[in-house]
């Protein structure tokens, strides 16, 4: 539920004068610094059961952040300026569909007939929200923004599944930090390498942007991602993401309240299909994930290496 306001908050910060990549870069650079400081505290490491990955896994985790997580969030924040918070959050709820497939191949999580049905129904719903009832055309309304957003969902799903492989060999919180460091490097470099595509600006930004960034770093960053990655060490990832079902109704209410957005038939039908797919997925009884053998460089109380 704490992730539901993210698209709304990004939209408010953009209207307040911040560029999308400025929001993304500031968010993830700040979280990288904050989480890194937290991991220097022994009590925090014990509380989160932090274990450091081996050197190879550390490099992979940073690379995942640089090549997947960072680009995905750069695309998210740009795309949300080309679509609505309704559609963005609805497309975000297709993550369980992508994660279910990826988890089967990379995490050896069982995928049943019920989950296959959910994937098919959800994909149709995502297509309706992203494109409509006809063949794709990037010149109609929000189609371009929706297509970008959906692509970012797939990219982040790939990153998430591959990162959980590392987390199950070490720990979720340390894997998250390494991934965030990689994302922060990408998002810091993007405005320098491609300033015309990813301008870094805070033109007249004030209290609204400050509040947005505080929420993005502390609540939908440190708290939600920290809990998510820690739980994913033991829980089946393809079932955990079913909880994203809560986001569309919450995001819809927030969009109506703060942005005066009104969902159309295309959005409503696509949303209904995605929600139906996720409900179908809940009919399946989950099985414990296949645990990877622990391969780490230290126990929780051994310090930040």
Encode the chain (305 residues) as per-residue pLDDT tens digits: 677 688 788 888 999 999 999 999 999 999 999 999 999 999 999 999 999 999 999 999 999 999 999 999 999 888 888 877 667 767 777 777 788 788 878 877 776 787 778 777 877 877 776 566 766 554 455 778 888 988 999 999 999 999 999 999 999 999 999 999 999 999 999 999 989 888 999 998 899 999 999 999 999 999 999 999 998 888 776 666 656 655 655 665 666 666 666 667 777 787 788 778 778 877 766 554 555 556 666 555 444 33
Q: Give the model confidence (pLDDT) of 89-143 as tens digits.
A: 677 777 777 887 888 788 777 767 877 787 778 778 777 765 667 665 544 557 7
User: Following DSSP, what letter does each residue of 91-146 receive, concatenated?
Assistant: HHTTHHHHHHHHHHHHS-----HHHHHHHHHHHHHHHHHHT-SSS--TTSTTHHHH
Structure tokens at 108: 């050896």
pLDDT of residue 304: 38
Contact 158, 179 (CB under 8 A): no
CA distances 199 to 52, 187, 213, Å, are 35, 11, 17
Average pLDDT score over the chain: 82
């Amino acid at each position: 539920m704490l992730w539901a306001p993210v698209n709304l908050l990004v939209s408010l910060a953009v209207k307040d004068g911040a560029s999308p990549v400025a929001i993304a870069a500031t968010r993830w650079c700040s979280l990288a610094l904050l989480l890194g400081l937290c991991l220097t505290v022994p009590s925090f490491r014990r509380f989160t059961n932090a274990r450091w990955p081996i050197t190879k896994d550390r490099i992979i985790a940073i690379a995942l952040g640089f090549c997947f997580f960072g680009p995905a969030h750069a695309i998210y924040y740009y795309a949300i300026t080309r679509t609505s918070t309704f559609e963005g959050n609805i497309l975000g709820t297709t993550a369980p569909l992508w994660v279910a497939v990826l988890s089967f191949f990379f995490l050896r999580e069982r995928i049943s007939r019920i989950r296959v049905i959910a994937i098919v129904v959800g994909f149709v719903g995502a297509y309706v929200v992203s494109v409509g009832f006809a063949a794709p055309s990037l010149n109609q309304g929000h189609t371009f923004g929706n297509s970008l957003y959906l692509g970012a969902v797939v990219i982040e799903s790939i990153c998430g599944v591959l990162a959980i492989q590392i987390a199950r060999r070490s720990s979720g919180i340390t894997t998250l930090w390494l991934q965030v460091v990689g994302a922060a490097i990408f998002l810091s470099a993007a405005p320098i390498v491609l300033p015309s595509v990813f301008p870094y600006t805070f033109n007249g930004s004030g209290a609204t942007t400050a509040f947005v960034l505080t929420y993005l770093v502390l609540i939908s960053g440190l708290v939600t991602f920290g809990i998510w990655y820690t739980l994913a060490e033991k829980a089946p990832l393809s079932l955990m993401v079913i909880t994203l079902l809560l986001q569309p109704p919450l995001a819809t209410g927030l969009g109506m309240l703060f942005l005066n957005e009104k969902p159309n038939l295309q959005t409503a039908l696509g949303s209904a299909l995605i929600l139906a797919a996720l409900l179908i997925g809940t009919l399946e009884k989950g099985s414990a994930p296949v645990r990877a053998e622990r391969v780490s460089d230290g126990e929780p109380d051994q310090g930040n290496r």
